[in-house]
């Protein structure tokens, strides 16, 4: 008997979301496949533990569907789209029209009416960028062909959803040229209100609530569901409104902590519920019957999609003169059919436009393309040359150099160039005996650059400013800072201690750093893996998000003055990666240490590509005059984390870049840094930058 209790249903969903995706990812399968399988097993054809007709499942699935399309709009890189918008639009039209026509013809051949056939074609026309994390890891996101493919997503998704809106309207009856014109007109007005009105409203709200992240998060959720509700008022499916809301809010939230929270809530809860519900809706007998009796239809849809997407990529090759590796990467990136495809297919099934046989074939299509697409992307994108980067005049490689106006007390002028005075902020939250190595590292960095160290103690506020507890805390903070000053004096480094009263440690650190124009925050290690940290975030993450300057999180197992071998993993050549290298060189310069740059590339990377990467990286690190000995080591291996962990055994310090987790089709993608941290046993520095 199917369990009807909402609490039981929700508990089962949480258990599935927690356990199944990681298991399938270990099998090199997308996590969403595990959720679909879970839905099949737990549904009416399996254990009968979940019922898609219950109000609980309907609610969570509807929210997940809306959230999925909102995140799809939110994750589109509008900046990259604008860089090559003409080519993105051109490829977008091709990779939309060819599959649309192909899918429509296939559906007509197999007996569907024009409305259902056109909707079937539109399901093939959009695509989900499941391969984006792969091209990002390979460092080829800056390649024009990749950028054009990413930009084309905005056109294909919008166009596919517009076709869905029109098909649903036609299916509702009362269709005529006049009603179609009214529908398109209302859709245009609605889209303008969402894209420009909500964007303006969002910017105004965020400007007035600068530090109120909770209210900003709630505002974004409200906007999403108002947009979804508004879509239903003009007889358009709610996923159209959700996607447009994502595009509208895209520029408002940027890469702020609010975006991280939005994606976190969606990727760990609501979106997985949608995929589980998709599995529940699958009638396994009909699904198997589709594969056996309608094998030709399923194969036609799959090969029609693959062929039409390839034709669009081939046309782009001829027009824009891309090479074969770029062309095949465009094809593989535009292949996966997940987010918009599944959401629109479910809508088509529910309103009666699509028969179950088409819906089941689309599920087959999703399974094939979500597995094949990323595999081919990894194969072909690895052979694309990493874009040339010109940092010859880029002062951002030393992040405290600037041509902007800053307070006179924190600047000095050399040869007409205004430089920040190098200011290191060190939060002190325990006795100097426990944080001696941390303080010594901060002092060494300050001394090397002739800068200033600011030891900071944050005291929790009380309602009464004369409370005995507050007085005691202030006294203890003062004593700790006096001990820190003794260390700084022994190194002959200027230090200005600060005591601040704040209820929130993170805000106290980040705001003081901003007020004092800090160049770098050096702080000690906090738990990053505990249950509390995973659920509510940890201090490190919050400071990475809120600080205006780079943050070095330190776990030192020995005196920093004794460290003379430093390892820096370099994923690709970007300003952020080079600033991490610069930090390692800066610290190495304080103690005449050597720095090894480790790059782990795919096994299929050619010798020519490796040589080019080595030459470019060597040239870039030599542009800055430094006496630090640096060498580059490149290893070909498919799994980065174990290579770094093994190499770290020969070094005293590893400097890792903090990487934000991204989402692909609403599911979290783990980062290498987390894996490495759990395995290495030497000293570690996690170097993070604002919104890195």
pLDDT bin (cut points 50, 70, 90) of residue 304 is very high
Hey, what are 428's tokens?
């002190």
State the average pLDDT over residues 38-46: 85
State the average pLDDT over residues 572-588: 84
Question: What pLDDT score was predicted for residue 652?
Answer: 92
User: What dihedral angle (degrees, nearest 10) is formed by the CA atoms of 329, 335, 336, 340?
Assistant: 120
pLDDT bin (cut points 50, 70, 90) of residue 152 is confident
Give me the chain's average pLDDT, please.
80
Residue 354 reports pLDDT greater than 50:
yes
pLDDT bin (cut points 50, 70, 90) of residue 126 is confident
How many residues would you count in the chain? 692
Residue 595 reports pLDDT greater than 80:
yes
Question: What pLDDT score was predicted for residue 387?
Answer: 59
On the question of a common fold for 396-554 and 556-692, the answer reads: yes
Question: What pLDDT score was predicted for residue 268?
Answer: 81
| Strand, coil or helix: 125 | helix
Highest mean pLDDT among 72-86, 93-107, 387-401, 646-660: 93-107
User: CA–CA distance from 357 to each of 160, 336, 489, 656 (Å)?
Assistant: 20, 20, 78, 50
Q: At a CB cut-off of 8 Å and minimum separation 6, what does 71 contact?
A: 246, 262, 263, 266, 267, 271, 663, 666
Residue 85 reports pLDDT greater than 70:
yes
Question: What pLDDT score was predicted for residue 431?
Answer: 65
Residue 463 reports pLDDT greater than 50:
yes
Question: What pLDDT score was predicted for residue 2?
Answer: 52
pLDDT in tens, 465-499: 878 888 888 888 888 888 888 888 888 888 999 99
Instruction: Considering only residues 608 and 521, tell me which one the structure prediction assigns the higher pLDDT.
Output: 521
Instruction: Considering only residues 614 and 533, tell me which one the structure prediction assigns the higher pLDDT.
Output: 614
Residue 394 sits at the vertex; the CA angle it makes with 392 and 399, to the nearest 5 degrees, is 140
Residue 403 reports pLDDT greater than 50:
no
For tokens 């990894």, name the residue. 378
Question: What pLDDT score was predicted for residue 234?
Answer: 80
pLDDT in tens, 216-225: 889 999 999 9
Question: What pLDDT score was predicted for residue 671?
Answer: 59
State the average pLDDT over residues 563-568: 91
pLDDT in tens, 219-245: 999 999 999 899 888 877 787 788 889
Instruction: Considering only residues 183 and 505, tell me which one the structure prediction assigns the higher pLDDT.
Output: 505
What are the backbone angles phi and psi of residue 498, rounded to the nearest 5°?
-135, 135
State the average pLDDT over residues 427-441: 80
State the average pLDDT over residues 86-91: 87
| Strand, coil or helix: 210 | coil
Hey, what are 491's tokens?
């190194």
Residue 667 reports pLDDT greater than 50:
no
Residue 415 reports pLDDT greater than 70:
no
Q: At a CB cut-off of 8 Å and minimum separation 6, what does 634 contact?
A: 598, 599, 600, 601, 610, 613, 614
Whole-angstrom Cα distance, residue 191 to residue 210? 27
Residue 178 reports pLDDT greater than 70:
yes
Strand partners, 417: 414
Residue 275 reports pLDDT greater than 60:
yes
State the average pLDDT over residues 114-120: 89
Q: At a CB cut-off of 8 Å and minimum separation 6, what does 655 contact?
A: 566, 567, 568, 580, 583, 584, 587, 684, 685, 687
Residue 530 reports pLDDT greater than 70:
no
CATH says 6-381 is which class?
mainly alpha
Highest mean pLDDT among 161-170, 248-257, 444-453: 444-453
Q: Per mean pLDDT, which range of 20-34, 45-59, 102-116, 235-249 is the poorest?
A: 20-34
Strand partners, 418: 413
Residue 1 reports pLDDT greater than 60:
no
Question: What pLDDT score was predicted for residue 229?
Answer: 92
pLDDT bin (cut points 50, 70, 90) of residue 129 is confident
Cβ(453)–Cβ(424) under 8 Å?
Answer: yes
Domain borders along the chain are 6-381, 396-554, 556-692
State the number of CA atoms in the 13 A half-sphere of 213 facing the CB.
Answer: 11
CATH says 556-692 is which class?
alpha beta
Q: Per mean pLDDT, which range of 325-329, 415-419, 430-434, 589-593 is the poorest?
A: 415-419
Question: What pLDDT score was predicted for residue 386?
Answer: 63
Q: In CATH, what is the architecture of 396-554?
A: 3-Layer(aba) Sandwich (3.40)
User: CA–CA distance from 520 to each of 67, 421, 456, 548, 549 (Å)?
Assistant: 37, 11, 13, 9, 6
% the chain with pLDDT above 70 = 86
pLDDT in tens, 18-39: 888 888 877 767 677 788 888 8
State the average pLDDT over residues 569-592: 85
Whole-angstrom Cα distance, residue 457 to residue 445? 20
Residue 416 reports pLDDT greater than 60:
no
Whole-angstrom Cα distance, residue 388 to residue 41? 50
Residue 666 reports pLDDT greater than 50:
no
Question: What pLDDT score was predicted for residue 137?
Answer: 63
Query: At 272, which helix (H) or strand (E)?
Result: helix 271-281
């Amino acid at each position: 008997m199917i369990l009807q209790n909402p609490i039981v249903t929700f508990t089962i969903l949480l258990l599935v979301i927690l356990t199944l995706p990681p298991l399938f990812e270990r099998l090199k399968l997308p996590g969403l496949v595990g959720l679909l399988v879970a839905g099949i097993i737990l549904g009416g054809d399996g254990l009968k533990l979940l019922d898609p007709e219950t109000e609980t499942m309907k609610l969570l699935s509807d929210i997940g569907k809306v959230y999925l399309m909102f995140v799809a709009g939110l994750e589109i890189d509008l900046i990259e789209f604008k860089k090559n918008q003409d080519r993105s639009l051109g490829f977008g039209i091709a990779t939309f029209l060819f599959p649309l026509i192909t899918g429509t013809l296939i559906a007509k051949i197999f007996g569907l009416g024009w409305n259902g056939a056109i909707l079937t074609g539109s399901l093939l026309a959009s695509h989900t960028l499941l391969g984006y994390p792969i091209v990002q890891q390979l460092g080829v996101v800056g390649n024009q062909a990749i950028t054009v493919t990413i930009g084309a997503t905005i056109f294909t998704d919008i166009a596919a959803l517009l076709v869905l809106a029109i098909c649903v309207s036609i299916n509702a009856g009362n269709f005529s040229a006049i009603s179609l014109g009214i529908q398109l007109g209302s859709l245009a007005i609605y889209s303008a209100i969402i894209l420009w009105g909500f964007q303006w409203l969002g910017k105004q709200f965020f400007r007035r609530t600068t530090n109120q992240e909770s209210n900003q998060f709630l505002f974004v959720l409200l906007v999403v569901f108002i947009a979804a509700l508004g879509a239903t008022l003009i007889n358009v499916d709610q996923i159209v409104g959700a996607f447009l809301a994502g595009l509208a809010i895209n520029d408002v939230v940027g890469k702020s902590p609010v975006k991280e929270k939005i994606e976190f809530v969606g990727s760990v809860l609501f979106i997985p519920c949608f995929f589980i519900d998709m599995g529940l809706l699958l009638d396994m007998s009909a699904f198997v019957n589709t594969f056996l009796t309608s094998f030709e239809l399923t194969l036609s849809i799959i090969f029609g999609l693959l062929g039409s997407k390839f034709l669009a990529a081939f046309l782009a090759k001829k027009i824009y003169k891309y090479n074969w590796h770029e062309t095949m990467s465009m094809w593989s990136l535009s292949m996966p059919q997940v987010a918009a495809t599944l959401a629109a297919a479910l809508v088509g099934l529910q309103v009666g436009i699509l028969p179950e046989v088409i819906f089941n074939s689309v599920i087959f299509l999703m399974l094939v393309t979500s597995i094949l697409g990323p595999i081919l992307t990894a194969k072909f994108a690895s052979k694309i040359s990493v874009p040339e980067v010109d940092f010859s005049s880029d002062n951002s490689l030393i992040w405290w150099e600037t041509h902007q106006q800053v307070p006179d007390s924190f600047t000095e002028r050399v040869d007409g160039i205004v430089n920040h005075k190098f200011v290191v902020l060190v939060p002190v939250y325990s006795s100097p005996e426990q944080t001696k190595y941390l303080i010594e590292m901060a002092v060494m960095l300050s001394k090397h650059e002739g800068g200033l160290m600011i030891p900071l103690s944050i005291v929790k506020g009380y309602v009464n400013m004369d409370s005995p507890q507050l007085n005691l805390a202030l006294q203890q903070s003062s004593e700790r800072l006096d001990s820190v000053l003794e260390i700084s004096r022994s190194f002959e480094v200027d230090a200005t201690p600060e005591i601040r009263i704040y209820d929130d440690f993170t805000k106290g650190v980040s705001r003081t750093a901003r007020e004092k124009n800090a160049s770098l925050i050096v702080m000690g290690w906090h738990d990053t893996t505990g249950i509390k940290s995973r659920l509510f975030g940890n201090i490190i993450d919050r400071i990475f998000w809120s600080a205006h300057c780079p943050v070095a999180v330190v776990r030192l197992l020995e005196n920093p003055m004794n460290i003379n071998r430093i390892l820096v993993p370099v994923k690709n050549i970007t300003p952020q990666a080079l600033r991490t290298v610069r930090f390692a060189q800066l610290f190495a310069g304080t103690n005449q240490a050597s720095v090894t740059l480790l790059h782990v590339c795919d096994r299929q990377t050619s010798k020519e590509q490796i040589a080019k990467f080595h030459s470019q990286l060597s040239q870039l690190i030599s542009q800055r005059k430094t006496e630090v000995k640096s060498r580059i080591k490149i290893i070909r291996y498919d799994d980065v984390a174990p290579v770094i962990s093994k190499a770290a055994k020969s070094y005293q310090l590893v400097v890792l870049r903090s990487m934000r987790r991204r989402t692909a089709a609403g599911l979290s993608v783990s980062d290498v840094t987390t894996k490495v941290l759990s395995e290495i046993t030497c000293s570690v520095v996690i170097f993070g930058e604002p919104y890195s």
